[in-house]
């Protein structure tokens, strides 16, 4: 089972095209796919104080997302680069779903000050981003914060060793031909990783 998470507010966006291409490729490869369009589903990104403890009570939606995350063998996340970060709705999904006891835990005697142990059974994580910032500026001026967030702060921490990220740029000036080629690349990346 592969989990696909999309975070873009505009139906028909290139992010939506990426998600559709990825889901189609996964199904073609024989995978069961669970797909969430966080905006269409009106996902509530607000982490409530009662959810914070490891054994904190979660509503049915969050519990289902947590179960899917624990049960999946792979994950694909699709979102635009906004200020070097995922959209707030996706950050809220991370806060509420990638939680202690689901995605990671601390060793006995560690009250949260140490390095957690990853719990996820996910073999491969892929992130597709779109951006209107050129690669040289993203790397040299901003130090590619999305790479650090996804690779080091989230997936590696949760025990996922195989990670791949691809950014398509510059979206605002891209042609239909470029977008078609990029979608072909999405299919190739999914085939290679899943």
Beta bridge partners of 35: 4
Beta bridge partners of 82: 85
Beta bridge partners of 6: 37, 78
pLDDT in tens, 135-178: 676 666 666 888 899 998 999 999 999 999 999 988 888 999 99
Q: Would you say 47 and 95 are in contact if contact means Cβ atoms under 8 Å apart?
A: yes
pLDDT at 85: 84
| φ and ψ at residue 66, rounded to 5 degrees | -65, -45
Domains and CATH numbers, the chain: 2-193 (3.40.50.360)
pLDDT at 144: 80
Q: Would you say 119 and 69 are in contact if contact means Cβ atoms under 8 Å apart?
A: no
Q: Would you say 7 and 81 are in contact if contact means Cβ atoms under 8 Å apart?
A: no
Global pTM reads 0.92
Q: How many whole angstroms from its chain centre is CA 148?
A: 13
- Check residues 5 and 170 and name the one with the higher pLDDT: 5
Distance CA 80, CA 66 (A): 23
pLDDT at 136: 75
Res 191 pLDDT > 80: yes
pLDDT in tens, 46-57: 999 999 888 888
pLDDT at 172: 87
């Amino acid at each position: 089972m592969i989990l696909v998470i999309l975070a873009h507010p505009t139906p028909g966006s290139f992010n939506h095209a990426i998600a559709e291409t990825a889901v189609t490729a996964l199904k073609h490869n024989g995978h069961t796919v669970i797909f969430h369009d966080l905006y269409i589903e009106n996902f509530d990104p607000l982490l409530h104080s009662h959810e914070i403890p490891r054994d904190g009570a979660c509503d049915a939606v969050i519990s289902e997302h947590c179960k899917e995350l624990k049960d999946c063998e792979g994950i694909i996340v699709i979102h635009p680069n906004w200020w070097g970060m995922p959209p707030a709705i996706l950050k809220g999904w991370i806060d509420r779903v990638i939680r202690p006891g689901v995605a990671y835990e601390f060793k006995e005697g560690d009250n949260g000050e140490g390095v957690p142990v990853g719990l996820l059974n996910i073999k491969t994580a892929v992130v597709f981003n779109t951006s209107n910032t050129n690669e040289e500026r993203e790397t040299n001026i901003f130090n590619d914060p999305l790479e650090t967030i996804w690779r080091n702060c989230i997936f590696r921490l949760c025990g996922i060793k195989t990670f791949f990220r691809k950014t398509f740029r510059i979206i605002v000036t891209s042609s239909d031909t470029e977008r078609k080629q990029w979608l072909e690349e999405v299919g190739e990346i999914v085939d290679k990783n899943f």
